[in-house]
Structure 1
Amino acid sequence: MAYRKLGKTALELTEITFGAWAIGGWMWGGNEGNDAIEAIKVAIDNGITSIDTAPIYGQGESELLVGEAIKGISRDKIQIATKFGMRWDLAKGELVGPSEKNDGTKINIYKYAGKESVIEECENSLKRLGTDYIDLYQIHWADPTTPIEETYEAVLRLKEQGKIREAGVCNYDVAQVAKADKVCPLASIQEPYSILRKDIEEDLVPYVIDNEIGILAYSPLQRGILAGKYQPGHVFNAGDTRAGSKYYQDDYLLKVNSFLDAIKPIAAGKNVTIAQVILRWTLSQPGITIALAGARNAQQALDNASVMELALSDDELSEIDTQFAKVEIPA
């Protein structure tokens, strides 16, 4: 098992952490619960003992599936990260917009992280996960209607009560990270990061390196496009928001696939997949502590676990960067 410590804390997560967004089905065109539970169990059995989920993923579905999958496993053998601050069951805060549950029920999504909501969400997550503490508790998105100080005073209270081990943030800028960290010392920040999306390198990465805060990179495969399995004209299931993503438009997809074709020799030489190479590249970047990798079935979980045994030389990492630059993929 390959663990990495988050910042100045004692909390360690496996460098590949199970990202449980897709198993919730929401925004991914539905899910298959039994496959998801098996994927989590296989991941744990093969060394991925850390899981990152959130209440909004399937409106509780992802956390319930994680809770079911970890039943009977000694709690000190796994690390659970979840989030708060996105409500579909409370009309308060900033309206994000309308959405649908997996069953088609219409809902509205709000960003809200008032003190009482943070406490309530934690209790709800503990119940769904079937545990009495959360290893890493993170705000999902910034709530402009609530002072950060109020939000993280509530998080600090939860930490003092032993309901969470460490605090983190997601999708925050440098100024927001600094405000939260002053109230409740942060273990980590979770941000989108991939070879296609490196904007955090400009200011956030230097800041967290200087301040010893870990980075959990989400969507390192850019929601699957960097696995090299999609071709122009791909038809997604109803409700799968990748259909409208710029990354999955035909022109963009052709450029990405051209880059992936160029690095196939690296993957072939190590008898691994392109996705595994990309995940290891991600973990090799300055400031990146953890890469979140989703799995909707057992084979994907096994492939992700194998990344923890994969090594890339400096020359191979340089070759990946060189081939990426040649294709001139737009930011």
Structure 2
Amino acid sequence: MEYRKLGESDLTVSAIAFGAWAVGGWMWGGTERKDAVEAIKASFDLGVTTIDTAPVYGQGTSEEIVGEAIRGIPRDQVQILTKYGMRWNLAKGTLAFHTRDNHGTPIDVYKFASKESIIKECEDSLERLGTDYIDLYQIHWPDVTTPISETMEAVSRLIEQGKVREAGVSNYNVEQMKEAERTLKLVSNQVSYSMVKRDIEAELVPYCLETNKSIVAYSPLERGLLAGKIRPGHQFAEGDHRVNYKAFKDGNIDRVWPMLDQLNALADQKQVTMSQLVIRWTIDRPAITVALVGARNAEQAVQNAKAMDVTLTADETAYINQLLETVTLV
């Protein structure tokens, strides 16, 4: 495994991190807790020491599973990344969306990141995770109802108290990052990035390179599309949010498959899986420090971690980039 510093901090993370959204079950058609715990442990055994989660993932379920999985591991050998600012148990801020929890009960999720709310969320996360500090604390989505300075002041207080090591953001644009840094130093921004979703390369990547900020890339496999297993006509399980996700609608699956066929040929030639090839390409991109990759069971987790064994030559990378120029999702 390769390990990298987040921004200009002393926090070292694995280049491949375990993305724990799916193991929370919510929006992914449920979860098998035993399989999820084994997946995280299998990742750790192969050097994936970094785990990214959030309270809203299963309304606490994902954090609880992470806490169970890391029990017994020396705390300084694992890095926990979690988030705040998405409340399903407090109707304040901006309504993000209507959804259902893992039991099928309708719930409303709000974007809210006031000082008091963050302090409460941090305490709840620490309890669910079974730890006394969080390595990287990230606002999940921008909250337009709370001044960014107030939000960052709360995180600064948590850092002073030793409950948080470093501050990051998620889904922030460049201007929002600049505003946040008027209050405290950020080390990272967690954003969506994949072979077929590269809009951050226009402004965010140059800014992060210039200011020594890390980018934590989520959905590098575009929620499974780039794994090469979801073909046209695929039927998603009940409760799986991907049935309405842009990448799988409006003919996008058909649109991306010619490129995936050629990419698969390269993967076969290198004797690696399509997912491993995609993950390796992602973590080789400028400013991308970490790729978050989810797994529902140990077998998937092992395959993801082994992406670090893949090497891409300059010619192979150029060939892949050329292939990507032929694909545009609508």
TM-score, with normalisation over the residues of structure 2?
Answer: 0.98
Deviation at 1:249, TM superposition (A): 2.7
1:124 counterpart residue number: 124
1:164 counterpart residue number: 164
2:255 counterpart residue number: 255
CA displacement, residues 138-168 of structure 1 (integer Å, 9 cap, x when unaligned): 0000111000000000000000111011000
1:279 counterpart residue number: 279
Q: Which amino acid aligns with 2:328?
A: I
Please say if 1:206 is aligned against 2:206: yes
Q: Which amino acid aligns with 2:115?
A: K
Distance 1:241 1:202 in 2: 28
Deviation at 1:204, TM superposition (A): 0.8
Deviation at 1:269, TM superposition (A): 2.2
1:133 counterpart residue number: 133
Distance 2:89 2:140 in 1: 16
2:84 counterpart residue number: 84
Distance 1:59 1:146 in 2: 22
Please say if 1:42 is aligned against 2:42: yes
Q: Which amino acid aligns with 1:188?
A: S
Between 48-57 and 268-277, report the one with greater CA deviation.
268-277
Distance 1:257 1:31 in 2: 29
1:233–1:250 contact (8 Å) kept in structure 2: no
Distance 1:74 1:258 in 2: 46
Q: Which amino acid aligns with 1:179?
A: E
Q: Which amino acid aligns with 2:94?
A: E
Question: Counterparts in 2 of 1:129-278, with a 5 A limit?
Answer: 129-249=129-249, 251-278=251-278
Distance 2:270 2:284 in 1: 17
Matched residue SS, 2:194: coil
TM-score, with normalisation over the residues of structure 1?
Answer: 0.98
1:97–1:109 contact (8 Å) kept in structure 2: yes
2:2 counterpart residue number: 2
1:330 counterpart residue number: 329
Distance 2:137 2:212 in 1: 18
CA displacement, residues 76-104 of structure 1 (integer Å, 9 cap, x when unaligned): 11000000000000111111121110101
Number of residues of Structure 1 aligned to a counterpart in Structure 2: 330
Deviation at 1:314, TM superposition (A): 0.8
CA displacement, residues 186-236 of structure 1 (integer Å, 9 cap, x when unaligned): 110000000111111111111111111100000000001100001111111
2:288 counterpart residue number: 288
Distance 2:238 2:98 in 1: 16
Distance 2:87 2:73 in 1: 30
2:190–2:215 contact (8 Å) kept in structure 1: yes
Distance 1:231 1:180 in 2: 41
Two-structure CA RMSD over aligned residues (Å): 1.0
CA displacement, residues 90-136 of structure 1 (integer Å, 9 cap, x when unaligned): 11111112111010111111000000011110000000000000000
Deviation at 1:258, TM superposition (A): 1.2
Deviation at 1:324, TM superposition (A): 2.0
1:232–1:250 contact (8 Å) kept in structure 2: no
Deviation at 1:250, TM superposition (A): 6.5
2:20 counterpart residue number: 20
1:4–1:13 contact (8 Å) kept in structure 2: yes
2:247–2:329 contact (8 Å) kept in structure 1: no
